[in-house]
Amino acid sequence: MSTDIAQIKIEKTQHSRINEVDFENIKFGREFSDHMFSMDYIDGAWRNLEIKPYQDLTFSPAMSALHYGQSIFEGLKAYRSGDKVLTFRAKDNFARMNRSAKRMCIPQIPEDLVMDALNTLLSLDKKWVPTGEQNSLYIRPFLFATDEYVGIKPSATYKFIIFTCPVGNYYSEPLRVKIETDYTRAIPGGVGEAKCAGNYAASLYPAKLAQEQGFHQLVWTDAKEHKYIEESGTMNIMFVIDGKLITPSLSGAILPGITRHSVLEIAKDWGMQVEERQVSVEEVVLAAQEGRLEEAFGAGTAATIAQIAEISHNDINYKLPAIESRKFSNKVYDFLNDFKRGREEDKWGWIETIK
Ligand code: COI
């Protein structure tokens, strides 16, 4: 069976909740727009394509995603640009979702079809895309196993959903982070580069311990020696040392972030020296001690460009240069903000306009 956009059944809400939302004070991930898209994988094909009012799901207690973790997701955003709505690199998110799906033994999604479904969903919920330079509509596609079965095997059935939420900033202040040297997020050959639910579950306990010590986030290091920096809890990590933009190379244990890739491309375009390579903890700590660590920041869809104010390693806290002095990360933050709102030339073809 082939699936195409004409097969989407659309049921519009009779009771929009938009007037219940305080758009002046949007909290991240707490408000959900009126509609969602869903489809089911049954007998080897995607079926039951529908856009319907945002609502609860019903499922069996034996639903396999709950027990064995076949569950992946994406995060991307839509932005208001005058009376238009724009998405940023949506195709890249769905392509990454298919890479995660492959690793987790989940069937592929038809990328053109879900792009069209997203377009239709956003045109229906256009009013939910907030105004304001710090605000956007967060889009959450996710895909999970739905077999009612106890036992280890790939599920034969799946559900794919896209819902959206108006959001403000994920982080409200520059971050204090701790370089983690006891716990491990991912190992080469594992699932660290897949955006699967379990990666986030595994991070919660070490992150909680760090929060109890006064940190906002962890910086994960390699599983074998805890010598090399990998990524931070909700984002990739980047440094400016001696004027060069440096970030850990994708080792298989790091999420291939779309914001990460965008920042690297923009930096190269601006003529900055960019290094994607192993980044040792020692190098970063030494640069901080010698005053050569000019900037440190996270890059992610939710986090955008999140400034790191302090890095701690082995109980020693390194205060980094004042946020206002950080030329590159402030400039790339502003540039991306303008770019995603259609105020810069789209030379990379990263923007889609919602019809
Ligand atoms: C994203 O940046 O989109 C993520 O999925 C990370 C999560 C902290 C919201």
- Distance from residue 233's CA to the centre of ligand 1 (Å): 9
**Chain region(s) in the chain for CATH 3.20.10.10:** 175-340
**Topology of 175-340 in CATH?**
D-amino Acid Aminotransferase; Chain A, domain 2 (3.20.10)
Residue among 295, 325, 327, 317 nearest 308 (CA): 295
Encoded amino acid at 63, one letter:
M
Ligand 1 center to residue 122 CA distance, Å? 19
- To the nearest 10 degrees (0 to 180), the angle between helices 258-269 and 90-103 is 130
Whether the pLDDT of residue 157 is over 90: the answer is yes
In DSSP notation, 277-345 reads: E--BHHHHHHHHHTT-EEEEEEEETTTEEEEEEEEEETTEEEEPPPGGG-HHHHHHHHHHHHHHTT-S-
- Distance from residue 315's CA to the centre of ligand 1 (Å): 28
Banded model confidence at residue 218, pLDDT cuts 50, 70, 90: very high
- The identity of residue 131, as a single letter, is T
97 pLDDT higher than 90: yes
Q: What is the pLDDT of residue 174?
A: 98
What SS3 class is residue 274?
strand
CA dihedral 339, 194, 236, 84 (to 10 degrees): 20
- Burial of residue 187 (CB within 10 Å: 0-12, 13-18, 19+) is middle
CA-nearest residue, atom 9 of ligand 1: 302
pLDDT higher than 80, residue 2: no
Question: Ligand 1 pocket: which residues have CB below 6 Å?
Answer: 75, 234, 300-303
Pick the residue whose CA is nearest to atom 6 on ligand 1: 234
Atom in ligand 1 nearest the alpha carbon of residue 234: 8
Distance 234 CA to ligand 1 centre (A): 6
In this predicted structure, the answer to whether residue 1 has a pLDDT above a threshold of 60 is: no
Would you state the structure tokens that stand for residue 110, as one six-digit string?
A: 């038809």
Provide the percentage of residues in the chain whose pLDDT is more than 70.
98
User: Which CATH code, of 3.30.565.10, 3.40.1080.10, 3.40.50.300, 3.30.470.10, is assigned to 2-167?
Assistant: 3.30.470.10
> Start-end ranges of CATH 3.30.470.10 in the chain?
2-167
6-22 per-position pLDDT tens digit = 689 999 999 999 999 99
CA distances from 188 to 95, 178, 179, 256, 257 (A): 21, 22, 19, 14, 17
Kindly give the distance from the C-alpha atom of residue 146 to the centroid of ligand 1, in angstroms, as a whole number: 23
- Taking 80 as the threshold, does the pLDDT of residue 164 lie above it? yes
Q: Are 83 and 150 in contact (CB under 8 A)?
A: no
Tens digits of residue pLDDT in 245-281: 999 999 899 999 999 999 999 999 999 999 999 999 9
How does strand 76-81 pair with strand 229-232? unpaired
Q: Which of 234, 236, 259, 305 to mutate to test the pocket of ligand 1 (most atoms within 8 A of CB)?
A: 234
Task: Tell me the whole-structure pTM to 2 decimals.
Answer: 0.96
Q: What is the DSSP string of 150-190?
A: -SSS--S-EEEEEEEEEE--S-SSPEEEEE--SS-S--TTS
Instruction: Quick: pLDDT tens for 102-152.
Output: 999 999 999 999 999 999 999 999 999 999 999 999 999 999 999 999 999
Query: Residue with the nearest Cα to atom 3 of ligand 1?
Result: 75
Q: Are strands 244-248 and 274-277 parallel, antiparallel or unpaired?
A: parallel
